[in-house]
Amino acid sequence: MKVTGTAHMVGDHIDTDAIIPARFLVTTDTATLGANCMEGLEAGWVKRVKPNDIIVAGDNFGCGSSREHAPISILGAGIPVVVAKSFARIFYRNGFNMGLVLLEVGDDIARIRDTDRIEVDTATGVIRNLTTGDEITCAPVPPFMQNILDEGGLVEYAKRRLA
């Protein structure tokens, strides 16, 4: 999968409460959660986002409590990919289970700036910074995880396998 969009930078240790505050956990509606994505970080943050834009994060993105609402809210905001220095492990798995693509790039994250236009190729792990001409290579999405993504998440993947 290739995605091209604007980079929206967030810092280190962005926890699931910042991604989707607890007051919005009364629903699992993707559109409602998406309309409130990153509300705990900055009120109205999602209004700057266009479909296929990309969150670019620092270290330990998605730390804190385990809640599927966090990756659902990101997807609901129209963001299909998060690129980060690193992810909290439970968020990493929850993200893929919900159908969100997550790529770790380590210290190369510093080569992307807020509002840069970037192209992410999940099959090859190549991230092209279209603003600067720079190219970052990271591990591509593993085949098993790609199968889950191709089905739209773990639930749909399991339904098809058990049918």
3-state secondary structure 6-26: EEEECCCCCEHHHHCCHHHCC
Q: How confident is the model at residue 157 (pLDDT cuts 50, 70, 90)?
A: very high
Q: What is the pLDDT of residues 38-97, one digit of tens each?
A: 999 999 999 999 999 999 999 999 999 999 999 999 999 999 999 999 999 999 999 999
Reference 84, options 63, 52, 60; nearest CA is 60
Please tell me the predicted confidence (pLDDT) of residue 100. 97
List residues bridging with 126 in a β-sheet: 121, 137
- Its domain, for residue 37, covers 2-162
Which residue in the block uniquely carries the two structure tokens 């980079």? Answer: 7
- Helix, strand, or coil (residue 43): coil
Q: What's the whole-model pTM score?
A: 0.95
CATH of the domain at 36: 3.20.19.10
In the structure, what pLDDT confidence band is assigned to residue 163 with cuts at 50, 70 and 90? confident
Tell me the two tokens of residue 13.
């240790």
Find, among 135, 63, 54, 137, the residue nearest to 102 by Cα. 54
pLDDT in tens, 7-46: 999 999 999 999 999 999 999 999 999 999 999 999 999 9
Number of domains in the chain: 1
